[in-house]
Every structure is written in structure tokens, then in C-alpha cells.
Amino acid sequence: MTPDPFAALETLTALGVTRILTSGQRPTAWEGADLIQQLVARAAGRIEILPGSGVRADHVAALVQRTGVAQVHASASRAALDPSTRAQSLLTFGGTATGEGEQHRVVDPAQVVALKQALTSLV
């Protein structure tokens, strides 16, 4: 978060940063698409603007077209339960401990395929 995303873009560009991961100062990149598009235009190829947060197959093509980005960041994940952690109550591996084991995020191959298919429609 920054009070002036355009000033931050200029500072990061001057520092030699090559990419900015952003949701456009909104909970999801789709909601922040207007600012992302403005950042892309202002960056003018000097630094990559990478939209991320809540990127899904059902809107990724529209997000790319609306903002003019060349790439997106997506977790393409789902919640999963790791039953091997069931007996461990004091130690977690970054997930949420439950009585059935630890719940954490894992890559969902179906979401990866759906994202790829949606993006392939643009070429």
C-alpha cells in the first residue's frame, strides 16, 4: 500500500526494480483493474506491472485485455487437509491447525489448466 502509486512506480523504476506485483490497491486485481491499467500506461514498458490477488480463469482474459499486462500472478490453489499433521498440536507448517490435521493451500491442477486455456484464447 502506498498513498501515491504513481510516485511509488517512479521510485521503484529509478531503483532498478523490474516488476511490481499489485492488486491495484483493491482486494482483487479484477477490482483494481482501472489502477493497474493506469500503472501500465504510466510505466510505458520501463517496469512490468504484474496483477495478482484473486486472479481466476473466469476473468483472466478480460483482466489482461482491460489492463494491457503481459503476465498475471495467480495462486491457482485450494484448501487441503494434511492428515499427517493430525497428531501435532503445537507445531504447524504455516497452515491452520484443526483436529483432523493442518489445513493449508495447495496448487489445484484444474485451476492451472483453466487459467492456461483462458489465456490461450488471447493468442
61/86 same-domain check: no
24/66 same-domain check: yes
Distance, CA of 28 to CA of 51 (rounded, Å):
9
User: What CATH number is attached to the domain comprising 6?
Assistant: 3.20.20.70
Question: Is residue 53 helix, strand or coil?
Answer: coil
**Distance (Å) of CA 8 to CA 12, 30, 42, 102:** 6, 21, 11, 38
What is this structure's pTM? 0.84
CA 73 to chain centroid, in Å, comes to 4
pLDDT, one tens digit per residue, over 99-121 is: 666 777 889 999 999 999 999 98
Q: Work out how many domains the chain is built from and give that number.
A: 2
Are 9 and 42 spatial neighbours (Cβ–Cβ below 8 Å)? Answer: yes
pLDDT, one tens digit per residue, over 25-69 is: 999 999 999 999 999 999 999 999 999 999 999 999 999 999 999
Q: For residue 89, what is its C-alpha cell?
A: 498440536
